[in-house]
Structure 1
Amino acid sequence: MYALHPPLTLVAATLSTLFTGSVLAAQTDPAAPGTETMTVLGETYRNTATKTKLDPVETPQAISVVDSQTLEQRGASSVSEALRYVPGVNTELRGGSVNRLDLFNIRGFDNYQNFYDGLLLQYNDWNLQPQIDPVAIEQLEVFKGPTSVLYGSMPPGGMVNLIAKRPQREARHSVSVAGGSGDLREVTLDTTGPINDAFAYRLVGLARHKDGQAVTSQEERYVLAPSLDWRLGERTLLNLNVYYQKDPAAGIYTTVPAKGSAKDNPLGKLDSDAFLGDENWNQYNREVALFGYKLSHDFDANWQFLQNARYMDASAKQHNTYNAALGADDRTLARNAYLTNEESKGFVIDNQLAGKLATGSVQHNLLLGVDYQYLDARVLYRDTLDYSAPSIDIFNPDHRQINPDSLNFIYQDRKQIKQYQTGVYLQDQLRLDRLVAIGGLRYDSYRMDTDSDSLYSGAASHTLAKIDQDNLSFRLGALYELDYGISPYVSYADSFEPVAGSDKNGNAFDPATGHQWEGGIKYLSEDMSKGLTLSAFRITKKHALVTDPDNLYGPKLQTGEMVSKGLELEGRIDITSNLDLSATYTLLDMVISRDTTSLQGKTPVWVPDQTASLWANYRLGQGPAAGLRLGTGLRYVGEAEMDAANTDKVPDYLLMDMSASYDLAQLSQRLKGVEASVSASNLFDTTYYSCYDQSNCWFGAERNVKARLKYVF
């Protein structure tokens, strides 16, 4: 164990103490619209787009929400699966058999970091990414475009905030068992209710085991997430929460060559369950514990203070292989074996002071915040590095060739990575009659120290790298509410990402920055039966690292620029009381607009030109089938580039998903509270792919069927 060293936390804690003495927020009006949702999400909930309780529909930027009912209906077992029907988001970047991390891109920009209840899930940039299982999520909120004004360092495409299930004042309990593809065995528990007038609790649990998509692989997970609401007074609420997850097995991480998967191979095609690693050297064991609290205090009807904090203790061990290029015989792959042993301990805290005031006829919703985060990560990396691991025949694989005791690791690297970030932000969301405007700014100070001890063929070396960067981000936007629920909007927002390293002259790199212009129309009918968001955007990211054409293997240059522009459409409609439809469409054009190499003018990998989806729900309300709910979905992902040089394309694909559920109380009142459901993704078992380059491709998820029996009481 090693201790945290967060000197700047004292600053945030001191400010929060000062605020707490004089600041609190407005009480929720029981008769106000949305009260039911607020109760489910908890009194400490803040919407992702503004960090306030204001309705997201008033925000001049695109936002998508996936609720818990949708998550359960579609059988989502990961965040990436939950995002499949969100416009602008491309999931399964590393295929369907890789599920140990939530990796997706938003508007073309890759995202490895999610937020959990408004706080960053800290990622060490290696292999230890904390994941939150959907069993503990009330809803997902996808905030499109740059979000740095409220959240600091993030890619310019957007972010995903996972809203946790919270204690409820009304008792409700459920247990479920599930089985399905891959010999799935799963048990879940969700219980909540009041203890007394001061306390309410919630306990969420899961145990899951199944065969992985790739042959010989296994997936196993255990989750326990207790939380407690403690009403310290009429105006003060303390929420204590824990999330614990243990993953003894997490499938595979290895790739397959394009030739034989996404491209033709004269010797044949690989099956979608192909595995080119080794059963004797395939391990991923992860343990994550999150300990958090939220302190909310109302001072009067207009001012509120919220302190949101969390401590993380996580570890992961990995044994794996990676491949060379496919041999000239079109079947032999040379392999390296490597291992990682990683630990991360981190702390994040966000202090928010929110208030309402009026200047003349203008209503202001002010937000002042100070946040801080600290991460201490340790990484041990060992690699055979000379392709001395036994090679594998991709068409006749032997998955038990590696003897772990005989591996010769000629390279070793021990790293200690310490990250510190402090942000101060101010936001004003104002209303003048039908005009809603928002403005915000934020100052970030970021530091990272990396201490590395390397050993290569007996020769030792030590390096110490430092980043000390700061940035000022802005956000401006306006939305005007016309008649009939139509609201046109326009916005501008900045992004900020620290960049490690220095150029060939020894000058430290500047942070990568981006900005977005977005305009669109939001529509919500008076009875809320129809909704639509149409947005057009242009994102420019500057200061990207590129290769020096005069020294391909030397220090990089910081002259790169990327431009992503496109259209997004998201709509839903209740056609009848029993039938509703939702649809999305994204048209995306992304290009490297500035580069010192031949990549200028190219499109990055993992960026499809178009995506679209359609989902229909139908509920039967009468007759013997009353209580039956059917769902059908189609999702289309267009062509993407196979490699950085754009030498070939990854084919497009169209998949079909289905779901059905039935309330067994319709058969007998003795079965009240019992529901049977089934969900199927990729119903027709279509084979599809994702590729990073010609040597590294992944198969998409095979058909997956899950049947569940749930009892609610």
Structure 2
Amino acid sequence: MSSENKRKLTKVRASIGASILALTSIAPAHAQSADTDIIVTATRATTATKTDTPILRIPQSINIVTDAQIETIGARSIVEALSYTAGVAGGNDNSLGDFNYLRGFESVLYVDGLKRNFGFVYLPRADVNALERIELLVGPASVLYGAGSSGGITNMQSKKPLFEFGGSVSASYGSFNRKEGVVDVYGPLSDTIAVRLVALARDSDSRIDYIPNNRVLFQPAITWKPSEKTEVTALGIYQRDKNPPNYNVVPLPASILAAPGRRVPGSRFLGEPDINGKGYKKNGAATLLISHEFSDAIRFASSTRYSKAFTDQREVYVAPYANPLDPFLDPAKTIVPRNIFAIKAHYRTFQSDNNIAVKFDTGPVTHKFLAGVDYSYFRQLARQAFDVTTPINIYNPVYGTAPQPFYFPQTRQVVKQTGFYAQDQIDFGEIASLVLGIRRDRVTKTESFSPRAVDKKTTKRAGLTVNVTPTLAPYVSYSESFLPVSGLNQFGNSYVPLSGKQKEVGVKWQPYKTTLLRATYYTLKEDNALRTDPNNPLNQVQTGSTKSKGFEFQLDHNVAKDISLTANYAHGTVKQSGEFRQRDNTPKDTAGLFATKTTAITDELSLRYGGGVRYVGKQQSGTPAAFPFFRLVTPSYTLVDAIVAVDYGNWTLQVNALNLLDDQYYPTCYNFGFCANGEPRTVQGTLTYRF
């Protein structure tokens, strides 16, 4: 089975598609507070331009979530960390990966500006405890990053050494017997050398019976800063996860369309403990980050990473069936068919991105010109198994009936990419700023049993920001993307690259350094769109285009020891050419509100409390040509989260509850057979000591 077919099959089973809401950090609140009472976060970003640029001057949507916000939300994964971020659609917790969609298109994941996922690979999921922030550049971004999604990129920035001693130690316990300890220590060894270590150990069950959620992580880092003009940072990471697939898709007649008494519990395991529970994932990487200022006008930056990873994943799961309304194999309607999939994969990646930024003036106009080249090499060696296996009684499961997987011969995939890019940030004093960019890429793909493929692409970008006042900045932008598609379709044919183009207009308003409002309208088109084959729901074909357009609103206000607030609303339509309906499993509307309040009890003791409300609109699924007898509607849902924390000196005791009311909901349902159960209420308490 091709990797692209497996990708589709896995996504069918995964619970992707529940749109989540907003909370991009960006500046905080009142100017009348003392500086020690103000949290000024995310007023600048590097992902959007690869230069240190104020967010107010970036002519494109950029969303940022800091480590403090991740902690406040109580997020345990990237998907949960982005659950209050405008324009993002995620879904249920899915141990296969950190899937999030930006404006209807799957985001490509980066770490420290270098790509983390090359297509659909089975890496361990990123850990939020190792990150200092997450930056989302929304919309096409190929000019700076090469092959990427039409929806944008998610750039996770690692915690780095600081030249001051500090850190934290925390222990937490929560739902599903989750026990976790985290250590984060940083400080200087000398005037020029600083180090940091993040370490984590977790032992946990999961919301699905028989599925563990264990992790070990070490992330050491060292920074050498011989002068204010030179900085070299080396980061390492080792991570090992034992967290088999936990999406647990359930047949429609036992989930959203279940008759009274026929719904399968959300914790019900429908695989095989001796097969699903055997696999693990591990990842090791070394990253080198270099920056040097030759003068006030010339700056060099370099990012290089080498990584190796291994995945042993085995899964028995409920199989698609010819009649999704009646998948049962017996008259009592209790037994359903199952498939088995397994993969043993070795991944090896090398990447390097190097650029020079030059500042110069042409009369009254100031330029910041950036020129760079990047290279990436990705290799995957994999043995896969796919077959029909024994059925199961979903109401009274008996395990131990399925044989172990039989692996096909090893396949090899190599993807190489080289890109040359140039960008000019032109500042017309206090009047306006203009960003222009162009890039040329060459991508080669070599896969077993298929000829070598070469893709070449030139992408462009332009954006104008007008400084109406020092705090009000309307903007307009145009950007492009392209994304080669790995794997072959079910008939052994390769896919052509996806190509995206976006037009965006918006306004950003920052009346105080603690408050930012953004309103955006966009139109986005992706050509060579992948869509479900109407004659075979497990195959994908490329035909026509996908168009996305919509409006996003976001307000962030953040004052330490007082009130923090984020509010947002997003409306977007995503349609495929030739169809006059919203694309399957894509909600049109999402909205959210999250607020916290801090009340001082004594000089050292304070109470923080608050919560959030997340709304995800209804979704539909169904291609009339494939299943003409019905079109499935997944209802909208609203979830409530909560936080209460006591801060005493250097100690914090914090309790978070996600889905506080324990609402039953379905993030995603597919008309050809399945629903994924939503996350039940999860509660976690964390005791932290900071020094």
CA distance in 2 between partners of 1:201 and 1:604 (Å) = 48
**CA displacement 1:52-75 (0-9 Å, x = unmatched):** 011122111111111111111122
Tell me which residue corresponds to 2:636: 652
Tell me which residue corresponds to 2:89: 90
Tell me which residue corresponds to 1:311: 306
CA distance in 1 between partners of 2:249 and 2:316 (Å) = 9
Tell me which residue corresponds to 1:699: 677
Tell me which residue corresponds to 2:396: 396
Quick check: 2:212–2:242 contact (8 Å CA) kept in 1? no
CA distance in 2 between partners of 1:647 and 1:656 (Å) = 29
Query: How far apart are 1:354 and its partner, in Å?
Result: 1.1
**Alignment-mate amino acid for residue 519 of structure 2:** L
More moved, 555-564 vs 200-209: 555-564
Pick closer, same or farther for the CA change 1:583–1:499 going to 2, 3 Å: same
CA distance in 1 between partners of 2:255 and 2:502 (Å) = 37
Q: Is residue 2:574 matched to residue 1:607?
A: no
Pick closer, same or farther for the CA change 1:554–1:155 going to 2, 3 Å: closer
Tell me which residue corresponds to 1:353: 356
The CA RMSD measured in Å over matched residues stands at 2.8
TM-score, length-scaled by structure 1: 0.85
Quick check: 1:180–1:707 contact (8 Å CA) kept in 2? yes
Pick closer, same or farther for the CA change 1:371–1:46 going to 2, 3 Å: farther
CA distance in 2 between partners of 1:378 and 1:664 (Å) = 52
Q: Which residue of the other structure, out of 260, 280, 288, is the alignment partner of 2:283?
A: 288
Matches within 5 A, 1:500-511: 510-511=496-497
Pick closer, same or farther for the CA change 1:287–1:41 going to 2, 3 Å: farther
CA distance in 2 between partners of 1:171 and 1:304 (Å) = 29
CA distance in 2 between partners of 1:508 and 1:278 (Å) = 34
Query: How far apart are 1:123 and its partner, in Å?
Result: 3.2
Q: Which residue of the other structure, out of 428, 438, 442, is the alignment partner of 1:432?
A: 428
Q: Which residue of the other structure, out of 527, 536, 539, is the alignment partner of 2:521?
A: 536
Q: Per chain length, whose mean CA-contact separation is higher, i.e. which structure has more relative contact order (CA < 8 Å, sep 6+)?
A: 2
Query: How far apart are 1:226 and its partner, in Å?
Result: 0.4
**CA displacement 1:173-208 (0-9 Å, x = unmatched):** 211111011111110000000000121000001101
CA distance in 1 between partners of 2:176 and 2:491 (Å) = 54
Query: How far apart are 1:581 and its partner, in Å?
Result: 1.5
Quick check: 1:123–1:130 contact (8 Å CA) kept in 2? no
Instruction: Please list every run of 5 or more consecutive structure 1 residues that lacks an aligned counterpart in the other structure.
Output: 1-34, 452-462, 595-599, 666-672
Query: How far apart are 1:232 and its partner, in Å?
Result: 4.2
Instruction: Please list every run of 5 or more consecutive structure 2 residues that lacks an aligned counterpart in the other structure.
Output: 1-34, 322-326, 625-629
CA distance in 2 between partners of 1:212 and 1:548 (Å) = 34
**Alignment-mate amino acid for residue 617 of structure 2:** G
**CA displacement 1:675-703 (0-9 Å, x = unmatched):** 11111100011111122443232112111
Tell me which residue corresponds to 1:630: 609
Matches within 5 A, 1:494-643: 494-499=480-485, 510-525=496-511, 527-545=512-530, 558-573=542-557, 578-594=562-578, 600-623=579-602, 626-643=605-622
**Alignment-mate amino acid for residue 179 of structure 2:** R
**CA displacement 1:525-568 (0-9 Å, x = unmatched):** 1x32321000011110012246788x979998643210011111
Pick closer, same or farther for the CA change 1:254–1:356 going to 2, 3 Å: same
Matches within 5 A, 1:417-456: 417-433=413-429, 434-451=431-448
CA distance in 2 between partners of 1:505 and 1:643 (Å) = 23
Tell me which residue corresponds to 2:461: 475
**Alignment-mate amino acid for residue 108 of structure 1:** G
Matches within 5 A, 1:193-232: 193-232=187-226
Q: Which residue of the other structure, out of 636, 642, 655, is the alignment partner of 1:678?
A: 655
CA distance in 2 between partners of 1:506 and 1:270 (Å) = 37
Tell me which residue corresponds to 1:15: none
CA distance in 2 between partners of 1:77 and 1:291 (Å) = 24
CA distance in 2 between partners of 1:642 and 1:552 (Å) = 15
Q: Is residue 2:155 matched to residue 1:172?
A: no
**CA displacement 1:151-176 (0-9 Å, x = unmatched):** 11111111111011110011002111
CA distance in 2 between partners of 1:440 and 1:488 (Å) = 20
CA distance in 2 between partners of 1:302 and 1:135 (Å) = 36
**Alignment-mate amino acid for residue 636 of structure 1:** Y
Pick closer, same or farther for the CA change 1:254–1:574 going to 2, 3 Å: closer
Tell me which residue corresponds to 2:148: 154
Query: How far apart are 1:624 and its partner, in Å?
Result: 9.0
**Alignment-mate amino acid for residue 123 of structure 1:** F
Tell me which residue corresponds to 2:134: 140
CA distance in 2 between partners of 1:507 and 1:398 (Å) = 40
Q: Which residue of the other structure, out of 658, 663, 686, is the alignment partner of 1:708?
A: 686
**CA displacement 1:436-489 (0-9 Å, x = unmatched):** 1111011110011001xxxxxxxxxxx223220010001011111112611111
Query: How far apart are 1:219 and its partner, in Å?
Result: 0.6
Pick closer, same or farther for the CA change 1:352–1:416 going to 2, 3 Å: same
Secondary structure at the aligned position of 1:683 is classed as coil
Query: How far apart are 1:271 and its partner, in Å?
Result: 1.4
**Alignment-mate amino acid for residue 652 of structure 2:** E
Q: Which residue of the other structure, out of 297, 303, 311, is the alignment partner of 1:302?
A: 297
Tell me which residue corresponds to 1:100: 96
Tell me which residue corresponds to 1:464: 450
Secondary structure at the aligned position of 2:251 is classed as coil
Pick closer, same or farther for the CA change 1:576–1:506 going to 2, 3 Å: closer
Quick check: 1:107–1:157 contact (8 Å CA) kept in 2? yes
Pick closer, same or farther for the CA change 1:609–1:495 going to 2, 3 Å: same
Quick check: 1:372–1:421 contact (8 Å CA) kept in 2? yes
Pick closer, same or farther for the CA change 1:403–1:712 going to 2, 3 Å: same
Query: How far apart are 1:506 and its partner, in Å?
Result: 11
Query: How far apart are 1:573 and its partner, in Å?
Result: 3.1
Query: How far apart are 1:649 and its partner, in Å?
Result: 1.1
Quick check: 1:218–1:251 contact (8 Å CA) kept in 2? no
% of aligned pairs identical?
A: 31
Quick check: 1:122–1:346 contact (8 Å CA) kept in 2? no
Tell me which residue corresponds to 2:78: 79
Quick check: 2:300–2:356 contact (8 Å CA) kept in 1? yes
CA distance in 2 between partners of 1:557 and 1:273 (Å) = 34
Query: How far apart are 1:228 and its partner, in Å?
Result: 0.3
CA distance in 2 between partners of 1:503 and 1:403 (Å) = 27
Quick check: 2:527–2:546 contact (8 Å CA) kept in 1? yes
TM-score, length-scaled by structure 2: 0.87
Quick check: 2:561–2:597 contact (8 Å CA) kept in 1? no
Tell me which residue corresponds to 2:58: 59
**CA displacement 1:612-665 (0-9 Å, x = unmatched):** 110111011245994111121111111112345581111111001111221223
CA distance in 2 between partners of 1:633 and 1:225 (Å) = 31
**Alignment-mate amino acid for residue 573 of structure 2:** D
Q: Is residue 2:380 matched to residue 1:368?
A: no
